Structure 1
């Protein structure tokens, strides 16, 4: 298949460049292609390779996407428990990201408040 050929070539180039995000993304792209073709075992392998890099390098957005796709695959394979597990991982990660973003906003607002308070004194 043409798409597979080009995705594999792109992945090899990304490995030569040692671009970890691009490598993780490349495995995710292959996983998505295999999922769409109904080749679930290959899709899972690619998503697992993507996740191993994404976890190591803390690429949370990519993990969110991968967990969602893995949940879909598990559902299509008739494994609702595994699908639910991936959905829970996705939800927990999303909540963690949201909490981290809110904490950063609070810290920024506090710093701005302290600066304005100091300047008005």
Structure 2
């Protein structure tokens, strides 16, 4: 699951980065940052949930992971906003690529199951 979603993230990321670079060069870096941050957040979430389900410290590990991921996402967004407030839009577009990847992954599971 994780490998497929990350591969879809990379596919969308490269596609959106190329399009962004062709038409909106100055917004390419925030877009790529959004994709990288969401991939890091998703990987941390996956590992923390898998680890927590096997251990009894579910609340502690899950809470620490959640706080760290929120801190990471917000810190990058704040830094980008201080540089240029319009960098938030490509950052959110890059961040949203993960949701597209999860939807595509779900659709591939549905078609494989038929």
TM-score w.r.t. structure 1 length? 0.34
TM-score w.r.t. structure 2 length? 0.36
Q: Which has the higher contact order (CA 8 A, sep 6+)?
A: 2
